[in-house]
Structure 1
Amino acid sequence: MMNTPESRLMRWRTTANAAWAIIGVLLLVSAAGLLIGRISSALAPFVLAFVVVFLMQGAVAWLEKRHMPRTQAVAACFLLGFVVLTIVGVVLVPIVGRQLAEFASAVPGYLTKGEAVIQQMQTQYNNVVIPDWVREVATSVAQSFSQVLVRLGNGIASGIVGAGSGIAAVVFDLFLGSVIAFWVLKDLPKIREELITLAGEKYEADLENLVSTVVRVVGGYLNGQTVASVVTGTLAGIGLAILHVPFALVLGIITLVLNYVPYVGPLVSGLIAAVVAGLMVSPLAALLAIVIVVAAQQLTDLFVTPRVMAEQVDLHPTLVIFSLLVGGTLFGFWGMIFAIPVAATGKGLFVYYWERRTQRTLGSHDGALFRVCPEVGTEHVHAEAKADTVSESDEPTGKVSE
């Protein structure tokens, strides 16, 4: 293209439109974040329904393939889930509640032992020539650690006292979320067809890719991470119980919950177990507690995660850490939990649209930042682009061949 004033003006317009589009997207994301923050309490049942739908849709589809009507399949999954939760609640809730109460009452003892350990360390390194800045850092860390223990004990105690007032709200959210999830699961195929019809033929392929990407990534992540977290928490709890660490069941549940946060969660749960074991048992037990939690995590990553995840979530560690930081900064703990599936979905959509627009291959099975799982691939993008090109070339041009 010649460097004419018209072409330069066109390039400037294209750049300006792209810049305004990016600014608009950022403004929309910021506004959505503010809105979600204001109505977060009202969204709790819908978030629960969202999680339940993605956890159960695979089982419902499996039952449908075995010629069970969809309504009956959804009802069977809910019935099984209710039975499992009831058994877990009857068996574990009293034990966990008792251990939490004991843990809250034991925090002052932790503080006393922690102060004794700190004083012993100060006595030991006072006889050694240590730079002043090292002493200041050690003292600051010790004081911060004591403050953390105080806040932890107060938080657990206040949580136990105020638990009764929030039971009604939790029960209502669980009931309403379950009702929403049931009806969404029951009519999910019809909802998908209606959305595709609403989009029209022009955007049918885009919407199909969006739905399949979200279902594959989010559903695969939630199902796989739930299984992996249960296995990790169970192994860690059993190992800590064998080590005679107090509150092993509570520590196992903490490991289970924090395992949803990659990299950061296992580290935090290991440190918590080490603190409890070190203060209540011995320094050697603290080291062994870290080994147990790390071993549980590694065994799960080696033998469980590859089977249950099925390469549904392919994110480079750099993108994982970046997503966790952004999600945690914007939405706290829940933002860290959902950061990975959201980032993986965004990466999949970016690869799809970039390849479709440029007709160049970006994702590969052995890539890094833009790795794609083998069963998805990117060939369909180029096939669609080629089909679009052929259809455009076949349109009549108004010329009559001689």
Structure 2
Amino acid sequence: MGSGLRQGIVPRRLRMLRAARAARLDESGETGSSAAISSAQGAAAIGSDSSPSTAARAEEHIPVSLRVSAGWSWRLIIIGAAVYILLMAIGRVRVVVIPIIAGLLIAALIHPLAHRFQRLGLPRLGAAFAALFVFFAVLAGAAVAVGFNAANEIPTVSDQVSEGVEQIRGYLTNGPFHLSQSQIDDLVDDIRRNLANNRGRLVSGVISGASVAAEVITGLLVALFSTFFFLYDGDRIWDWIVTRFPAGAEDRVRGAGREAWLTITGYIRGTVFVAAVDAFGIAMGLVGVGVPLVAPLALLTFFGGFVPIIGATVAGVAAVLVTLVSGGVTDALIILAVVLAVQQIEGHLLQPLVMRRAVRLHPLAIVIALSAGGVLAGIPGAIAAVPFVAVVNRVAGYLAATGKRPPP
């Protein structure tokens, strides 16, 4: 009986062990199948991710040069639009911007004089006022000298102009044109009639001239105040501007400002020296020939020197025309030779020695800057365009050089 009980218990245990083993086998089979399914799904997902999309396949067919050109194109378009908007904004407020730039240039010119007064014991406020007084005293003296010279010689010039008109009348009558006196009178009457018919335009021109005069007076006042505060408080103004930048960029901003100031001071002092040499040379030629209005023509030549390339040419043409009217063709040719000689000395000797360190610009860049400045703000814009471009060029070079230096 005991052996029979043991025989019944043993098969029962065997059945239980077999059932447990079969359950483990089923679980392992399900786990393996789920792992296989998940691995297959992952492989499918990886395959789907690794397969290129339609846009990627289309991008691969575009040449690299075309993609690079397109990238440069839209970036340059954005930069050009930003520059255009900035220039238009400056053109809108040129009544304020141009006098401030003029005040900065004047301050760069007379800043050493203000420092000299400070060394003599004057306070900062007194030195700024003294430097401004000396500057405007020199300008007033030059204006008075030119006015007296013009007042004394205008009657002589008017007589010479009348003689020139009579000579032209005689040339039209006796020369190759063979015009009769009645035809000349009709021509004069037509000119007078056209002037009478365009009287409204002349009146509007006078009114616009009055508005221009108001703008000039406003600009002079703004330039005067700007010059004074640049002399008196320029250092603190620049410190305030620098502190608006992040702390890590202050050193580079100060260095860029130093380079800009050196460019402005070098440009304005070199321009004054070159313009003075041009005015002196042409004045000596006019005095030697005996041409009237020497002082106004010399002053015109001096101020024309502030507009590179164009200003000297216009002043030389004015001197030649005045000489032609007052002295004849021979004297005009002599003055033309003098003007050409002075311009050659300026272009080949003075500009390379005096201005090259301050203005490192290609002549084409100077012409483009003059054109843009003239279109935006007339003659003042042409005067301010070259130093502005020179400052931008030098500051950009400085920032590019400091950006390439390895960190300490």
- Give the structure-1-normalised TM-score: 0.65
Structure 1, 43-52 or 178-187: larger mean CA deviation: 43-52
Q: Does 2:283 match 1:237? A: yes
Separation in structure 2 between the aligned mates of residue 320 and residue 87 of structure 1, nearest angstrom: 32
Contact 2:106 2:227 in 1 (8 A): yes
Instruction: Tell me by how many angstroms 1:21 deviates.
Output: 4.4
Residue 91 (structure 1) aligned to one of 145, 167, 184: 145
> How far 1:344 moved relative to its partner?
1.9
1:122-160 residue CA offsets vs partner (Å, 9 max, x unmatched): 579xxxxxxxxxxxxxxxxxxxxxx9xx99xx9xxx999
Which of these residues, 254, 269, 272, is aligned with residue 208 of structure 1?
254
Partner of 2:132: 78
How far did 1:65 drift? Answer: 6.6
Name 1:34's counterpart in structure 2: 88
| Alignment-derived partner of residue 373 in structure 2 | 327
Deviation for aligned residue 1:313: 1.3
**CA displacement 1:288-314 (0-9 Å, x = unmatched):** 111222333445567765665472112
SS in 2 for 1:199: coil
Which of 98, 113, 120 matches 1:59? 113
Is the 1:232–1:296 contact (alpha carbons within 8 Å) kept by the matching residues of 2?
yes
1:385 maps onto 2:382 in alignment: no
Distance 1:101 1:161 in 2: 29
**2:102 aligned residue:** 48
Q: Deviation per CA, 1:164-206, whole angstroms, max 9, x where unpaired?
A: 9977765554344222321222111111222222112332243
- In structure 2, the CA distance between the partners of 1:199 and 1:123, relative to structure 1 (3 Å rule), is same
Alpha-carbon separation, structure 1, partners of 2:339 and 2:206:
26
Q: CA deviation at 1:207?
A: 1.7
Q: Report if the CA contact (8 A) 1:113-1:279 is conserved.
A: no
| Greater Cα offset, 303-312 or 30-39 | 303-312
Gaps (5+ residues) in structure 2? 1-51, 179-190
Alpha-carbon distance between aligned partners in 1 of 2:156 and 2:89, rounded to the nearest angstrom = 40
Instruction: Kindly state the Cα deviation for residue 51 of structure 1 after the two structures are TM-superposed.
Output: 2.7
CA 1:27–1:303: 2 relative to 1, 3 Å: closer
Contact preservation (8 Å) 2:103, 2:227: yes
Contact 1:243/1:285, CA 8 A, preserved across alignment: yes
User: Residue 387 of structure 1 aligns to a residue in which SS?
Assistant: coil
Using the alignment, how far apart are the partners of 1:225 and 1:110 within structure 2? 37
Shift of 1:261: 2.4
Determine if contact 2:111/2:231 at 8 Å carries over to the other structure.
yes
In structure 2, what is the Cα distance between the partners aligned to 1:308 and 1:84?
A: 23
1:213-292 to 2 correspondences below 5 Å: 213-292=259-338
**What SS does structure 1 have at the residue aligned with 2:360?**
coil
Higher RCO (Cα < 8 Å, 6 or more apart): 2
Task: Say which is worse superposed, 51-60 or 112-121, in terms of deviation.
Answer: 112-121
1:252: Cα distance to partner? 1.7
How far 1:285 moved relative to its partner? 0.5
Change over 3 Å in CA distance of 1:302–1:26 after alignment to 2: closer
Contact 2:361 2:390 (8 Å CA) reproduced: yes
1:105-133: CA deviations, max 9, x gaps?
A: 97676555456668888579xxxxxxxxx
Kept after mapping to 2: 8 A contact 1:236/1:292: yes
Give the aligned partner of residue 195 of structure 1.
Answer: 241
Query: In the alignment, what sits opposite 1:344?
Result: 390
Shift of 1:97: 5.9
Shift of the 199–111 alpha-carbon distance from structure 1 to 2, 3 Å rule, reads farther
Q: What is the SS of the residue equivalent to 1:178?
A: helix
Change (3 A) 1:284 1:195: same
Task: Check the 8 A contact 1:99/1:250 in 2, yes or no.
Answer: no
Q: Deviations over 1:214-261 (max 9, x none)?
A: 212222212221232133213312321221123222222222222222
What is the one-letter code of the residue matched to 1:80?
A: V
Q: Secondary structure of the equivalent of 2:268?
A: helix
Is the 2:286–2:335 contact (alpha carbons within 8 Å) kept by the matching residues of 1?
Answer: yes
What amino acid is the match of 2:77? I
Tell me: CA distance 1:17–1:175, structure 2 relative to 1, closer, same or farther (3 Å).
Answer: same
1:184 equivalent among 208, 230, 234: 230
Q: Which has the larger radius of gyration?
A: 2
Larger helix percent? 2
Report the Cα distance in structure 2 between the residues aligned to 1:102 and 1:27, rounded to whole angstroms.
Answer: 55
CA contact (8 A) 1:100 1:250 kept: no
Q: In 2, distance between residues paired with 1:118 and 1:201? A: 77
Q: 1:123 to 1:51 in 2, by over 3 A?
A: same
In structure 1, what residue type is equivalent to 2:113? A
